[in-house]
Structure 1
């Protein structure tokens, strides 16, 4: 069971506005914790303990988002090869052990996905849900990769590439790159980056290390796209505009 530590009293948690979420969690304590937390945060919740029932429910009605614990024994029902055709594919937040991320394949199909590693914090779960719901709201283009020059990020498969070179990104690096791409040519502060990537501000050193790792992968053997504005933060754009 992945216990969620208590939140800091001064921390402001992201809140919902009545959106309908499906929680898939087989372990009773975790299911109760997620249900109670999300309802208090302003979401309407349906709960199931199996992957098979989750697929059936999504096929029968429209949910705004699915929170899926990958420890559910029959999570294979979400596998791409076994799922039925679904009329609507909601965004999915996967709750997963860190060492299982490299083999995760469960999904409801093309659509937005994100990961929170266990043990997780309430603030991070709520923040990732809010971002997924925001990105999936009507009017936002689906299935169109984000691009800047030869840098491409495709949310439908959670993959990124620079030219012909695939980028092997961790979930945190992927979220950071997406945030930089969506806000290209705009300087993002360390606090803004921390709250988007982790749901809170982790401190300057953690963000500097994350940016450094991403920069090594994105800008290797290519013109720099990720830049530092000293004293302000980081931004993504053409090297000719850097200062």
Structure 2
């Protein structure tokens, strides 16, 4: 039996854009669904059959950032924002809220499909591992893509989870912002390394007892971030 094609949900109110994106995705072998407003898109994105969401920001009923914010309370499905807003602040806000990638209009269909495939590969990778990582009072379940702290669930965005896993896998090793950006966001990501700083700050707010005095995710000034082998201030 052949595996089912991945289902991509396009949430886009401009029909010509939605139609051309759907055409190229279907040509590439994906199954496509389209929603023309934020409320309908959110309802469909919450369904288990959707493997990835392509999300516009300027939508009727419910804007794209609200869709993303609410969706992250329900599912960790990969989300690629596609927007005409190209300011760095817009990109940072979208990534902070849990978007996995940000593509500015106009864009090429070839680039978008490459980014879709990259995100789908990344989403599948943790499910292929059947192991856990223990970091002090954190337990990282790679198979379930879940984190608990002292037995209590910690709600992380996909980016926060991936950064935590990358640091945990290289415990005691300082990873530069550029390394984290390439390994987590992908080496084709076009953005500022400060995106990493924003994600680490949000991660600390969720996993540290005192985010202002972190004991788990530490900074090596001028170099990058690391998780120490022994809990406490790093060298």
* Range of TM-score over shorter length: 0.5 to 0.7
Higher-RCO chain (CA-CA 8 Å, sequence separation at least 6): 1
Q: Aligned match of 2:8 in 3, 14, 23?
A: 23
> Unpaired segments of 5 or more residues in structure 2?
56-63, 84-101
Rounded to whole Å, the distance in 2 between the matches of 1:139 and 1:209 is 26
1:177 aligns with 2:181: no
Tell me the C-alpha RMSD between the 2 structures. 4.4
Q: Quick check: 2:133–2:168 contact (8 Å CA) kept in 1?
A: yes
TM-score between the two structures when normalised by the length of structure 1: 0.55
Rounded to whole Å, the distance in 1 between the matches of 2:220 and 2:148 is 24
Instruction: Summarize the Cα distance change of 1:124–1:189 in structure 2 as closer, same or farther, 3 Å threshold.
Output: farther
Deviation at 1:227, TM superposition (A): 1.9
> Unpaired segments of 5 or more residues in structure 1?
1-18, 52-68, 84-88
Instruction: Summarize the Cα distance change of 1:195–1:210 in structure 2 as closer, same or farther, 3 Å threshold.
Output: same
Instruction: Summarize the Cα distance change of 1:116–1:150 in structure 2 as closer, same or farther, 3 Å threshold.
Output: farther
Q: Aligned match of 1:115 in 79, 90, 97?
A: 79
Q: How many residues align?
A: 191
SS in 1 for 2:171: coil
Rounded to whole Å, the distance in 2 between the matches of 1:38 and 1:154 is 34
Q: Tell me which residue corresponds to 2:59.
A: none
Q: Tell me which residue corresponds to 1:207.
A: 196
SS in 1 for 2:8: strand
Instruction: Summarize the Cα distance change of 1:149–1:128 in structure 2 as closer, same or farther, 3 Å threshold.
Output: farther
1:238 aligns with 2:229: yes
Q: Quick check: 2:163–2:184 contact (8 Å CA) kept in 1?
A: yes
Q: Quick check: 1:189–1:234 contact (8 Å CA) kept in 2?
A: yes
1:191 aligns with 2:178: yes
Bigger CA drift: 22-31 or 95-104? 22-31
Q: Tell me which residue corresponds to 2:93.
A: none
Deviation at 1:133, TM superposition (A): 1.4
Q: Tell me which residue corresponds to 1:36.
A: 24
Rounded to whole Å, the distance in 2 between the matches of 1:139 and 1:76 is 25
Q: Tell me which residue corresponds to 2:220.
A: 229
Deviation at 1:190, TM superposition (A): 0.8
Rounded to whole Å, the distance in 2 between the matches of 1:137 and 1:238 is 25
1:217 aligns with 2:206: yes
Q: Deviations over 1:34-85 (max 9, x none)?
A: 653796xxxx42333369xxxxxxxxxxxxxxxxx995947646756xx6xx
Q: Tell me which residue corresponds to 2:53.
A: 94
TM-score between the two structures when normalised by the length of structure 2: 0.56
